[in-house]
Amino acid sequence: MVEVQDELGPDFGTKIAFVSITLTPERDSPTVLKDYAQFWEAKLDGWSFLTGSPEAVRDVTRRYGVFFANKEDGSIEHTQLTTLIDADGQMRVQYLGARFDPEEFRQDLMGLLDRE
């Protein structure tokens, strides 16, 4: 996603925003998420890293169709899902699984900008 962020140029943060939501809110405080974002060189003027109560996270994951479960070893099993939402808040595309193609995603983002 950082690669896509970088390829979007000046549209990132002005016309396009990314949102990442933790699945482990009990561990991922705002400070932890900020450190994570900085480590991966996410541009925080266009990318939000969100946390909240476990109930709020479960509610959001249900709404978007994300499955997740804590494993005994402390890791999390989860659906690999990226959702593209347009400027009107409408879900346009969901990219599921490890076959996610960053270039297809970038082109879809740019296609939405062209329609505005």
In angstroms, the CA 90 to CA 72 distance is 36
CA dihedral sign of residues 116, 46, 48, 72: positive
Tens place of pLDDT for every residue, the chain, 116 residues? 999 999 999 999 999 999 999 999 999 999 999 999 999 999 999 999 999 999 999 999 999 888 999 889 988 899 888 999 998 989 999 998 877 898 999 999 999 887 65
Q: How do the domains of the chain map onto residue ranges?
A: 2-101
* Predicted TM-score of the model (pTM): 0.86
* CATH 3.40.30.10 describes domain 2-101: yes
